[in-house]
Amino acid sequence: MANKFQLPSIAEIISALPHDLYVHETVVTKWIQHAVADYRKRAQSGETIPDRAILVERIVEKIISLSKPSLKSIINGTGIVLHTGFGRAPISKEILQNVVNRVTGYVNLEFNLESGKRGNRLDHSREILSTMIGAEDAVFVNNNAAAVLIALNTLAEGKEVIVSRGQQVEIGGSFRIPDIIKKSNCELVEIGTTNRTHLKDYENAISKNTGLILWVHTSNYTVQGFTKEVPLSDLVELGRKKRIPVMADLGSGALLDIKQLGLPPEIPVQDIIKTGVAVATFSGDKLLGGPQAGIIAGKRKVTKQIAANPLYRAMRCDKVTLALLEEILRSYKRNQVDQSNLALSLLSTSRNELMKRANKILKKIDPDIISLFGLSSIDSQVEAGSGSLPVEKIESIAIQFKSTRLSASELAKTFRMSDPPIVGYIDKRTFYIDLKAVQPDQIMLLAKTINSIGSQLL
Chain-centroid distance, C-alpha 19 = 37
Task: Write the CATH number of the domain with boundaries 121-337.
Answer: 3.40.640.10
> Rounded to whole angstroms, how far apart are CA atoms 38 and 49?
11
The whole-number pLDDT of residue 69 equals 86
Alpha carbons 450 and 418: distance in angstroms, whole number = 9
Greatest distance between any 2 Cα atoms in the chain: 84
Question: What's residue 260's pLDDT?
Answer: 86
Quote the pLDDT of residue 222.
67
Fold match flag (75-84+346-457 vs 121-337): no
Segments making up each domain of the chain, as ranges = 4-67, 75-84+346-457, 121-337
* For range 145-162, the mean pLDDT: 96
SS3 string, the chain, reads CCCHHHCCCHHHHHHHCCCCCCCCHHHHHHHHHHHHHHHHHHHHCCCCCCCHHHHHHHHHHHHHHHHCCCCCCCEECCCCCCCHHHCCCCCCHHHHHHHHHHHCCCCCCCECCCCCCECCHHHHCHHHHHHHHCCCEEEEECCHHHHHHHHHHHHHCCCEEEEEHHHCCEEHHHEEHHHHHHHCCCEEEEECCCCECCHHHHHHHCCCCEEEEEEECCCCCCCCCCCECCCHHHHHHHHHHHCCCEEEEEECCECCCHHHHCCCCCCEHHHHHHCCCCEEEEECCCCCCCCCCEEEEECHHHHHHHHHCHHHHHHECCHHHHHHHHHHHCCEECCEECCCCHHHHHHCCCHHHHHHHHHHHHHHCCHHHHHHHCCEEEEEEECCECCECCCCCEEEEEEEECCCCCCHHHHHHHHHCCCCCEECEEECCEEEEECCCCCHHHHHHHHHHHHHHHHHHC
Q: What would the mean pLDDT of 329-343 be, rounded to a whole number?
A: 88
Identify the weakest region by mean pLDDT among 138-152, 163-177, 309-323.
Answer: 163-177
Check residues 262 and 103 and name the one with the higher pLDDT.
103
Higher-confidence position of 196 and 392: 196
Give residue 141's pLDDT. 97
User: Higher pLDDT residue, 335 or 365?
Assistant: 365
| pTM exceeds 0.85 for this model | yes
Beta strand pairing status for 430-434 and 425-427? Answer: antiparallel
Structure confidence at residue 294 as a pLDDT band (50, 70, 90): very high
Q: Binning pLDDT at 50, 70 and 90, where does residue 201 land?
A: very high
pLDDT at 333: 83
Average pLDDT over residues 437-448: 97
pLDDT-derived band at 390, boundaries 50, 70, 90: low
Q: Report the chain's mean pLDDT, rounded to a whole number.
A: 91
Query: Cβ of 455: how many Cβ atoms within 10 Å?
Result: 12
**Residue 4 pLDDT > 60:** no
Instruction: Compute the chain's Rg from CA coordinates.
Output: 27
Phi, psi of 302 (to 5 degrees): -75, -45
CA quadruple 368, 401, 422, 389: dihedral sign? positive
Tell me which residue of 229, 196, 191, 193 sits closest to 213, measured CA to CA.
191
Half-sphere exposure of 230 (CA within 13 A, CB side): 30
Encoded amino acid at 251, one letter = G
Classify strands 394-401 and 430-434 as parallel, antiparallel or unpaired.
antiparallel
Local confidence band at 2 (pLDDT 50, 70, 90 cut-offs): very low
Q: Is residue 175 over pLDDT 80?
A: no
* Strand arrangement of the beta sheet that strand 137-141 belongs to: 137-141, 294-298, 279-283, 246-251, 210-216, 160-164, 187-191
Q: 137: how many CB neighbours lie within 10 A of its CB?
A: 21
For the domain spanning 75-84+346-457, the CATH number is: 3.90.1150.180
Residue 164 has pLDDT above 70, yes or no: yes
Q: What is the pLDDT of residue 8?
A: 83
* Mean pLDDT of the region 268-297: 96
- The one-letter amino acid at 222: T
Output the pLDDT for position 221: 60
User: Would you place residue 85 in the very low, low, confident or very high pLDDT band (cuts 50, 70, 90)?
Assistant: very high
